[in-house]
Amino acid sequence: MAYDFQVTVDCAHPHDLADWWAEALGWSVEPSDEAFIRRMVAEGQATEEDTTTHRGVLVWRLGIGIRHPESGRRILFQRVPEPKTVKNRVHLDVYVGEQREAEAARLVGMGAKELFRGQQGPYKWITLADPEGNELCLQ
């Protein structure tokens, strides 16, 4: 049986990080359904503390997703209380081909940090950290 999945990134500031990754990947941040959120609060299924505003829009406090514009694949950014302390055991490899150097410079300009450059045979990659320290590799 084949399963579908999403990748979830634990972070301190999910809405800011979702914005960063959406711009980095050319994906879209999922729009907020403010009417639905207000209805859930009014019905007692959520509280005001479950919400916040981001860029002037009412959103769920704990998380937000981004989606690939064609496939609909999803990455969820989820607030957690603890800070990142060690290297990720799972990370995204972003295939950019010959644009590797330009993409690395663009992402560093957006707040990423270069961590490592690697090569194994003909395969090369640049390991970066997003603004909260989550690793990604440009290949």
pLDDT in tens, the chain (139 residues): 778 889 999 999 999 999 999 999 999 999 999 999 999 999 999 999 999 999 999 999 999 999 999 999 999 999 999 988 998 889 999 999 999 999 999 999 999 999 999 999 999 999 999 999 999 999 9
Instruction: Give 105's contacts (C-beta < 8 A, 6+ positions apart).
Output: none
Distance CA 41, CA 52 (A): 12
Q: How far apart are CA 39 and CA 45, in angstroms?
A: 9
**DSSP character at residue 97:** G
What DSSP line would sit under 24-52, residue for residue?
A: HHT-EEPPP-HHHHHHHHHTTSS-GGGEE
